[in-house]
Chain A
Amino acid sequence: MFNRRFSSFLKLSILSVVLAFTGGVSADPVKAAFVYIGPTGDHGWTYAHHRAVNHLKEVVGDNVIVTEVESVAENSDSERVITSLARKNDIIFTTSFGYMNPTAKVAKRYPDVKFEHATGYIRGDNLSTYQAKFYEGRHVMGKLAGGMTKSNVMGWIGSFPIPEVIRDINSAYLGAKSVNPDVEMKIVWINTWFDPGKEADAANALIAQGADVLFQHTDSSAAMTIAEENGIYSFGQASNMREWGPNAQLSGIVNNWGPYYVERVQAVLDGTWTSTDTLGGVKEGWVKFAPMNNNIPFDVRNAASKAIIDIMTGATHPFTGPINKQDGTPWLAEGETATIDELMGMQFYVEGIDSQFPN
């Protein structure tokens, strides 16, 4: 296994370049493991991680040996999977919130192994967290939606009413409202991250209710295909879903975890790994966008592009006051931006969203 041959001169070149910049390689390759909540074929969340892992393998080459485990349920069994991996690996990435406590428990028992948990809030000496500022991407999507909708009704297929989803809903809505004050958002919860049938039903229900732009916070391409069938618009989730919606996809958020994974594995190789809490957004290149649909008119396209640049430079923050909560109570004053804590724990809709907050 350690004597794997390079299959092409190109890989050799890349590795040489990387070596030149990193100044050396430690003797043993790093064994990295990834725990996924769904199948890599979901074309959504897990697929994005898998793509990032492929990028990792390309960049770091022989210095990393990767194990990927798919469809690990978010229950007490996951602790055993993580433990199995901890026995044989140097660094483990657990890519869904529900793995938080199991990861923390295993991290305590294996202090020499490094753990990285996505979207959680528990850290430790050997346990880091990382999260992407998807809400920045949603804000931009919102600007596109606000500009392209004719019925002024947007639909959101929600999985679970956790802060991440609420945050994204609010951000998209605010983005749309900034270009189109009359826009409204309808939200349907289907209690799952991945169920093509339910996602399709939800999409149809939202369309029936007048939505002509769909957002999804679920992992399959069902909603995109329904949108394509009905001649309306939708946004790809976590990956470019153009294949399922050549006309329907306005754009989409493409999760780009690659650079982070390379950085962390390299840190283990160099012996410089420490526990961190990293939030990456548009600026850091974690949130990318699928190419914009050709049918988008010039001015709408411009507004979205400008938003991307503004977020990147820090000129704009999606949650900038004055913003009130759904019940009218003031939240952010003029010019005030939301704190990280407020964002991470968000459990209220902003003013203007009519839907009953689920609880």
Chain B
Amino acid sequence: MNEGLFINIIIGISVASAPLIFAAIGELLVERSGVLNLGVEGMMIVGALMGFVVQFHTESYFLAVLAGLFAGVVISSIFAFLTQFLLTNQVATGLALTLFGLGFSAFVGKGYTEESIQLIAAVDIPFLSDIPLIGPLLFSFNPLVYLAFFMVYVVWHFLFKTKQGLILRAIGDNHDAAHAIGHKVVLYRFMAILFGGAMAGLGGAFLTLVQVPIWGEGMTAGRGWIALGLVVFASWLPFRVILGAILFGGITILQLHAQGFNIRISAQYLSMLPYLATIVILVALRIRLKNKTNRTVPNCLGRIFHSTT
């Protein structure tokens, strides 16, 4: 396999993984606070639409990216309000959010199906990208891809190197105890949910701003659900999200290449690989962790917090 093809595959994988990284790292923070938000798909697609719409009207990448982010925040606030203030069931509310997001984006997007925009181009980092071999490989990604990696670092730093992150994790593990100490459980969770929305929106905007410059109903095609899987896959540890996203994005891209290479397995079975791989790896991780007492799943994940004061 020649160098050009290899680089092309790596770039392809980076583009396929970045939206997943954004959505998953956001959801990771949310779940660390003890909330399960199944509405990732709905938040992503709203971000995809808004990013596209704003880019179309303003031709400003900056505003478009912000729009995607903001759209995610706004729509996730519905979920936050319902689950944190009205104490609704998180699973159902998340599903309703996905449904609503899909319908809303399709509806508003109807006027934009005939338009297209300019994609954000990849950049060659000066000097670094000239290094033979690894230069074009690692330093010529799209700016938003680098942002995705950076957000993983930000979340890691927040969770494990700041006081607020510690509190958030404590809330995720035992919200009653945290509340008793005086921490504002609802506030932390609310903010976490909004952050998750922002990230999901950003991940969606990545699709229309980097991958393909047109809008189509339902174009997230299940990526939000994959992101949910990635959080579990990563055992709620930030850097592992990158690993999972690359794996999943990688298999998605590689199965297309496999068809081109003429691997003798039918296309449908090849397309199953990413999903089966996710399950297999989830099981494998569990088997590995079986003897360790170190469990990283937030204990209060999905449980409703009833404040008594």
Contact = CB atoms under 8 A, between A and B. Distances in A.
A, B co-complexed: yes
B41 to A, nearest CB: 13
7 contacts: A41-B114, A197-B220, A206-B260, A207-B8, A208-B8, A354-B262, A355-B262
B6 to A, nearest CB: 9
B219 A244 contact: no
Interface string A34-50: 00000101110000000
Contacts of B215: 196
Interface stretch (B80-88, B192-200, B266-274): B266-274
Contacts of B116: 221, 225, 243-244
B18 interface: no
B9 A208 contact: yes
B259 A187 contact: yes
A195 interface: yes
A3 interface: no
Contacts of A354: 262
Contacts of B216: 194-197, 220
Interface in A200-219: 200-202, 204-210
Nearest to B249: A201
A205 B257 contact: yes
Interface residues of B, number: 36
B33 to A, nearest CB: 31
A8 interface: no
Contacts of B262: 354-356
Interface of B: 4-5, 8-9, 12, 16, 110, 113-114, 116, 119, 207, 211-217, 219-221, 252-253, 256-257, 259-264, 266-268, 271
B113 A205 contact: no
Contacts of B207: 197
Contacts of B217: 39, 71
Nearest to A161: B267
B113 A39 contact: yes
Given A209-B5, A222-B212, A244-B116, A196 B219 contact: yes
B113 A41 contact: yes
B211 A200 contact: yes
A69 interface: no
A208 B4 CA distance: 8
Given A191-B271, A208-B257, A200 B113 contact: no
Contact of B219 (A195, A205, A208): A195
Given A39-B113, A358-B267, A204 B214 contact: no
A209 B260 contact: yes
In the complex, the 7 A-B pairs of residues with the closest C-beta atoms, listed nearest first: A41-B113, A208-B8, A205-B256, A189-B267, A200-B212, A209-B260, A196-B216
Contacts of A11: none
Contacts of A225: 116, 212-214
A208 B12 contact: yes
Interface string A327-359: 000000000000000000000000000111011
Q: Which among B4, B8, B256, B266 has the highest number of chain A CB atoms within 10 Å? A: B256
Interface of A: 39, 41-43, 71, 155, 161, 186-191, 194-202, 204-210, 220-222, 225-226, 229, 243-244, 354-356, 358-359
A243 B114 CA distance: 11
Given A43-B114, A359-B266, A209 B261 contact: yes
Given A200-B211, A356-B262, 11 more contacts: A41-B110, A155-B260, A161-B267, A191-B268, A197-B212, A197-B220, A202-B256, A205-B257, A210-B5, A358-B267, A359-B266
A196 to B, nearest CB: 5
A220 B214 contact: yes
A201 B12 contact: yes
Contacts of A208: 4-5, 8-9, 12, 257, 260
Contacts of B9: 208
B214 A188 contact: no
Contacts of A221: 116, 214
Contacts of A243: 116
Contact of A201 (B214, B252, B263): B252
Nearest to B259: A188
Contacts of B268: 191, 358
B259 A201 contact: no
Nearest to B270: A189
Q: Which among B216, B217, B221, B268 has the highest number of chain A CB atoms within 10 Å? A: B216
Nearest to A194: B216
A194 B63 CA distance: 28
Contacts of A199: 212
B260 A188 contact: yes
A326 to B, nearest CB: 12
B113 A209 contact: no
Contacts of B266: 356, 358-359
B12 A204 contact: yes
Nearest to B119: A229
A172 to B, nearest CB: 17
Nearest to A42: B113
Contact of B221 (A41, A71, A186, A195): A195
A197 B219 contact: yes
A161 B267 CA distance: 10
Nearest to B7: A208
A48 to B, nearest CB: 14
Contacts of B261: 209
Contacts of A229: 119
